[in-house]
Amino acid sequence: MRLSATIIGDLGRIMAEEVKAAEEAVTAGVGEAAEGLKTELRTQITNAGLGPRLARTWRSETFPKGQNSIRAAGLVWSKAPGIIRIYEDGATIRSTKGFFLAIPTAAAGRFGDGGRKITPGGWERRTGQRLRFVYRRNAASLLVADNMRVRTGKRGGYARASAAAVRSGRGLVTVPIFILVPQVTFRKRLDVASAANSWQERLPGLVVRNWVDGR
């Protein structure tokens, strides 16, 4: 018995089409995995009650940009890696100088000098007011601002009282600006590694599905 085989068509073209299909399938699969991981990590953060702003720090990208490749790679990263690491591992934070950690209240405002995190010194420079230390034996101590008045109108909050108001003493309030604590403990609330491993295991299936669907 004699068997023979004949290639019908252009072998070079057929191979080129297969390589092209593989490049498209791998790139699409990697892109889906990266996007899926990013979405899952964002959902982890919002479900943990850490807010949409931190969730949006997660980004994803597929390389090489703008083209298909059988060696495509996906990158998922956060623009706030230090904060993410705290909630991924859990941590206890203490003052580097052995004093208190100053936690701003809503009355402190959102930002300090140059848009950086607000600090007691930055608050004093911004407002021109001195903060007063209030020791509390069975509770967290405070840094407060004296001679403040409640703002009226849409802005709300507090403002420094005028000299005339200070002289009269009417409508003046003392406002806690910072809460002072010796340390803050953050419990583990995220599982980045588990999510990454899950999407890595799903990647081959995504590539195969895109290959089949693309044929």
Task: State the maximum Cα–Cα separation within the chain, in Å, rounded to a whole number.
Answer: 116
pLDDT of 155 reads 64
Residue 149 lies in a domain: yes
Say yes or no: 151 and 105 in one domain. Answer: yes
Say yes or no: 85 and 106 in one domain. Answer: no
H helix or E strand, kind and range, residue 115:
none
User: 192 vs 128, which has greater pLDDT?
Assistant: 192
pLDDT tens string 103-117:
898 888 765 555 567
Say yes or no: 130 and 160 in one domain. Answer: yes
Q: What is the CA radius of gyration of the chain?
A: 29
Residue 4 lies in a domain: no
Specify the range with the lowest mean pLDDT, choosing from 77-91, 102-116, 133-147, 163-177: 102-116
User: 4 vs 204, which has greater pLDDT?
Assistant: 204
Q: Could you identify the residue written with the tokens 């007063």? A: 132
pLDDT tens string 45-89:
999 999 999 999 999 999 999 899 999 999 999 999 999 999 998
**Number of separate domains in the chain:** 2
